[in-house]
Copies of this chain bind each other. A is one copy, B any other.
Amino acid sequence: MRSVESRDDATARSRIRDAALRRFAADGLGVGIRAIATDAGVSPALVLHHFGSKDGLRDACDDHAFAVIREVKRVALGPTGPDQLLVQLASVAEYAPVAGYLMRAMQSGGPRGREAFEHFVSDAEQYVAEGVAAGTLRPSRDEKARIRWLTLSGMGAMLLALALEDPPPDDLAAWLQRYTAEISLPALEAFTEGVLTDRRMLDAYLSYVSDPPARDETAAS
């Protein structure tokens, strides 16, 4: 009715997309179009009118999420781990839904989840390379495998912790900070001092992969 509201109305399409982002982040990707439409204050049919289908809506969410990530990475930098990008993202209240959405996307897997995941892997790639070059991170015998494992572990732990939360937290940023606080000590401890006391297992593995593997012990037919 006013110019202010009509400015909101001009972004009706993006209002739906934002509502979808929020709902997806809060309740997972299974939420119905009707719930999203209600949140946005429109009819379910309008959602389809603008995005064609629920999949089209997901496309728009993906595009927006990746755009935000790209923008944020252009400004801020140097987190301490592959999962810290999300924490930083969520700490900006405006971007919290984007962080939540990306988490749900990875959690639900599939090609879209994989795309989001690879995004974080390549982010970690850059960050680890810088750390190794600066001398703060040890080099790895297989850098690519280590980065993938670090991302898998950091993200996976976070996603599992979130999934186990019941009911799902309403304030994602606060939850992420609490989670980070809980894992900081063990993670730092393990990553600076290690977990194993000696090199026997590592050396055994290294000699195992360098020599032709003789496999008859653990195999069960």
Partner-B contacts on A (CB < 8 A): 80, 91-93, 106-111, 113-114, 117, 135-138, 140-142, 145-146, 148-150, 152-166, 182-199, 201-202, 205, 209, 212-213, 218, 220
- Cβ-defined contact, B193 with A138, below 8 A: yes
A193: chain B residues at CB < 8 Å are 138, 194, 199, 202
- Cβ-defined contact, B220 with A202, below 8 A: no
Contact partner of A195 among B117, B138, B186, B201, CB < 8 A? B138
Query: 11 extra interchain contacts, Cβ-Cβ under 8 A, other than A185-B209, A192-B196?
Result: A93-B220, A109-B163, A111-B166, A138-B194, A146-B186, A146-B190, A150-B190, A153-B153, A153-B154, A192-B195, A192-B202
Interface of A, secondary structure class, is: helix
Given the complex of chains A and B, what is the CA–CA distance between A163 and B110 in angstroms?
Answer: 7
Considering the complex of A and B, which 3 residue pairs feature the smallest CB-CB distances, nearest first? A156-B156, A109-B163, A156-B160
A218: chain B residues at CB < 8 Å are 91
- Cβ-defined contact, A166 with B110, below 8 A: yes
A194: chain B residues at CB < 8 Å are 138, 190-194
A166-B114 CB under 8 A given contacts A149-B187, A197-B137 = yes
- Cβ-defined contact, B202 with A188, below 8 A: yes
21 contacts between A and B (CB under 8 A): A80-B201, A92-B220, A93-B220, A107-B107, A108-B163, A109-B163, A109-B165, A114-B166, A137-B196, A140-B186, A140-B189, A145-B185, A146-B189, A148-B186, A149-B183, A152-B160, A152-B183, A159-B160, A184-B205, A192-B195, A192-B202
